[in-house]
A and B are shown apart, each in its own frame.
Chain A
Amino acid sequence: MSALSCNKLTKTFTQGSQTIKGLDDVSIAIAEGSFVCLSGPSGSGKTTLLNAMGGLDTPDSGEILVGDMRVDQMNKSDLADMRLHNIGFVFQSYNLIPVLTAQENIEFVMQIQGIPADQRSAKSREILAEVGLADHEGRRPAQLSGGQQQRVAVARAIVSNPTLVLADEPTANLDSVTATQLMDLFAELNQSRGITFVIATHDARVMEYCRRLIKMEDGKIISDQEQPGRGANV
Chain B
Amino acid sequence: MSITTRLAWRNLWRHGRRTWLTVGAMIFCNTLLIFLISFQFGVYSLMIDSALSVVTGHLQVQHSEYNDDPRLRYSVPYGIALAERLRSETKIEAMAARGTAFALASSEKRSFGIQVMGVQPTFEPLVSTLPGLVKKGRYLNNNSSDEIVIGSVLARNLKVGVGDEITLLGSGRDGSFAAGVATVVGIISSGMNNLDRSIAQVPLDYFQAVFSMGEQISSIVVNVDTLSAVAERKSELTATINEPDLVVLDWDELQPGLQQAIQADLFSAFVMYAVLIVLVSFSVLNTQLMSVLERTREFGVMMALGMRPGSLARLVFLETATMSLLGLAFGCILGAAVATYFQVNGVYIPGMEAAMEQYNLPGELYPQVSIISVMLGPLIVFTGCMVAAIYPAVRLYGLQPVAAMRAV
Is the pairing of A and B real? yes
A interface vs B, CB < 8 Å? 51, 54, 56-57, 76-77, 80-85, 89, 91, 95, 97-100, 104, 107-109, 111-113, 117, 156, 160
User: What's the least CB distance linking A201 to chain B, in Å?
Assistant: 18
Partner of B309, one of A76, A85, A98: A76
Q: Mark B273-316, 1 if CB is under 8 A from A, else 0.
A: 00000000000000000000000011001111111110100000
User: What's the least CB distance linking B75 to chain A, in Å?
Assistant: 77
Q: In the complex where A51-B402, A56-B402, A99-B10 touch, is A89 in contact with B305 (Cβ < 8 A)? A: yes
Instruction: Other than A80-B306, A99-B7, give 16 A-B pairs with Cβ distance below 8 A.
Output: A56-B402, A56-B405, A57-B400, A57-B401, A76-B308, A76-B309, A80-B307, A98-B298, A99-B14, A100-B3, A100-B6, A100-B7, A107-B3, A108-B3, A109-B305, A111-B2
Residues of A within 8 A of B298 (CB): 95, 97-98
Instruction: Assess whether B3 is in contact with A104, with CB atoms less than 8 Å apart.
Output: yes
Instruction: Assess whether B3 is in contact with A111, with CB atoms less than 8 Å apart.
Output: yes
Q: In the complex where A56-B401, A95-B301, A95-B405 touch, is A84 in contact with B306 (Cβ < 8 A)? A: yes
Q: Mark B202-232, 1 if CB is under 8 A from A, else 0.
A: 0000000000000000000000000000000
Residues of B within 8 A of A111 (CB): 2-4
Q: In the complex where A111-B3, A111-B4, A117-B2 touch, is A99 in contact with B305 (Cβ < 8 A)? A: no
- 15 pairs across A/B with beta carbons < 8 Å? A51-B402, A76-B309, A82-B306, A89-B305, A91-B405, A95-B304, A95-B405, A97-B301, A99-B7, A100-B3, A104-B6, A108-B305, A109-B306, A112-B305, A160-B306
B interface, size bucket: 20 to 34
Report the nearest B residue to A157, measured CB to CB: B305
List of 7 A-B pairs having minimum Cβ-Cβ separation, nearest first: A84-B306, A99-B10, A95-B301, A83-B306, A57-B402, A56-B401, A111-B3
Instruction: Assess whether A80 is in contact with B301, with CB atoms less than 8 Å apart.
Output: no
Contact of B64 with A by CB under 8 A: no
User: What's the least CB distance linking B331 to chain A, in Å?
Assistant: 26
Residues of B within 8 A of A160 (CB): 306
List B residues 1-60 near A (Cβ within 8 Å). 2-4, 6-7, 10-11, 14
Instruction: Assess whether B6 is in contact with A83, with CB atoms less than 8 Å apart.
Output: no
Q: In the complex where A91-B301, A99-B14 touch, is A85 in contact with B306 (Cβ < 8 A)? A: yes
How far, in angstroms, from A56 to B301 measured CA to CA in the complex? 10
How far, in angstroms, from A86 to B231 measured CA to CA in the complex? 67
How far, in angstroms, from A57 to B3 measured CA to CA in the complex? 28
Report the nearest B residue to A101, measured CB to CB: B6
Instruction: Assess whether A54 is in contact with B304, with CB atoms less than 8 Å apart.
Output: yes
How far, in angstroms, from A100 to B10 measured CA to CA in the complex? 8
How far, in angstroms, from A111 to B405 measured CA to CA in the complex? 22
User: What's the least CB distance linking B316 to chain A, in Å?
Assistant: 15
Q: In the complex where A99-B11, A108-B3, A111-B4 touch, is A81 in contact with B306 (Cβ < 8 A)? A: yes
Residues of B within 8 A of A156 (CB): 305
User: What's the least CB distance linking B19 to chain A, in Å?
Assistant: 13
User: What's the least CB distance linking B406 to chain A, in Å?
Assistant: 10
How far, in angstroms, from A85 to B307 measured CA to CA in the complex? 11
Instruction: Assess whether B306 is in contact with A112, with CB atoms less than 8 Å apart.
Output: yes
How far, in angstroms, from A100 to B11 measured CA to CA in the complex? 10
Residues of B within 8 A of A91 (CB): 301, 405
Residues of A within 8 A of B2 (CB): 111, 117
User: What's the least CB distance linking B278 to chain A, in Å?
Assistant: 31
How far, in angstroms, from A89 to B3 measured CA to CA in the complex? 20
How far, in angstroms, from A130 to B10 measured CA to CA in the complex? 28
How far, in angstroms, from A117 to B5 measured CA to CA in the complex? 13
User: What's the least CB distance linking B364 to chain A, in Å?
Assistant: 50
